[in-house]
């Protein structure tokens, strides 16, 4: 932009629990801040504790949660912030609605599928969800006994299990550069 301001964008990182979404987002945020970009990470777990407190994990509640996060992301992005959103967002319809909102406001939106196999996610089990599900203490785990609709045509698919966090973040950075957002 000619006035010295930078264009914002939303980078939505979707994938299974423990796929590496948040870790990649924080590594990317660190690099972007080093380059003097305004960056916010809208972590799904943190949002659930505040903006979406009281919502459960039904399909309707998950959709509502994703729409709330999408609204905040678009608002920040429209003001020149690079917004990184590491959120499972298991349903294609919910993600499509967020993309449509961004398009209607002429705000850049990129969908990144952190495509980590469920077996690898279960080995990582950062939050102990897979172990709790296997022990019968938890039901409705996305990708195990609740659906995850993987993106059919994401802007980028990151195979995080085949590379380091830094390499995964570099792939997303390269996409931002390709789209002239950094």
Q: Is residue 30 part of a domain?
A: yes
In a domain, 115, yes or no: yes
Write down the pLDDT at residue 51: 87
Alpha helices (runs of H) in the chain, residue ranges in sequence order: 21-34, 44-49, 59-77, 92-104, 118-124, 129-134, 165-178
* Bridge partners, residue 41, by sequence: 84
Biggest alpha carbon–alpha carbon distance for the chain: 58
Q: What is the CATH number of the domain that holds 111?
A: 3.40.50.300
Q: At what angle do helices 165-178 and 21-34 cross, to 10 degrees?
A: 60
**Cα separation values, 176 from 21, 101, 132, 158, 180, Å:** 16, 20, 37, 14, 6
From CA 85, how far away is CA 110, in angstroms rounded?
A: 10
Helix axes 59-77, 92-104, angle to 10 degrees: 30
Residue 113: inside a domain = yes
C-beta of residue 85 within 8 angstroms of C-beta of residue 69: yes
Kindly state whether residue 83 falls inside one of the protein's structural domains.
yes
Q: In which domain, by residue range, is 103 found?
A: 9-178
Number of domains the chain contains? 1
Indicate the burial class of 164 (C-beta count within 10 angstroms; 0-12, 13-18, 19 or more).
exposed
112 found inside a domain? yes
CB 25 within 8 Å of CB 39: no
Query: Which strands make up the sheet holding 39-41, listed edge to edge?
Result: 39-41, 82-86, 9-14, 108-114, 156-158
* pLDDT tens series, the chain, 182 aa: 334 567 899 999 999 999 999 999 999 999 999 999 999 999 988 998 888 888 988 999 999 999 999 999 999 999 999 999 999 999 999 999 999 999 999 999 999 999 999 999 999 988 999 999 999 999 889 999 899 999 999 999 999 999 999 999 999 999 999 999 99
Specify the pLDDT at position 3. Answer: 45
Residue 45, pLDDT score: 85
């Amino acid at each position: 932009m000619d006035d010295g301001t930078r264009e914002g964008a939303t980078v939505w990182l979707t994938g299974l629990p423990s796929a590496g979404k948040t870790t990649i987002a924080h590594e990317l945020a660190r690099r972007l801040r080093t380059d003097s970009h305004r960056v916010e990470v809208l972590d799904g777990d943190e949002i659930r504790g505040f903006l979406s407190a009281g919502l459960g994990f039904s399909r309707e509640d998950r959709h509502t949660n994703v729409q709330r996060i999408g609204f905040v992301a678009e608002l920040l992005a429209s003001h020149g912030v690079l917004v990184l959103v590491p959120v499972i967002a298991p349903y294609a319809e919910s993600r499509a609605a967020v993309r449509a909102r961004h398009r209607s406001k002429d705000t850049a939106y990129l969908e990144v599928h952190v495509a980590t196999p469920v077996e690898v996610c279960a080995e990582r089990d950062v939050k102990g969800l897979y172990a709790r599900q296997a022990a019968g203490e938890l039901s409705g785990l996305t990708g195990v006994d609740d659906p995850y609709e993987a993106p059919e045509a994401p802007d980028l698919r990151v195979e995080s299990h085949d590379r380091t966090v830094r390499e995964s973040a570099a792939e997303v950075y390269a996409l931002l550069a390709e789209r002239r957002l950094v």
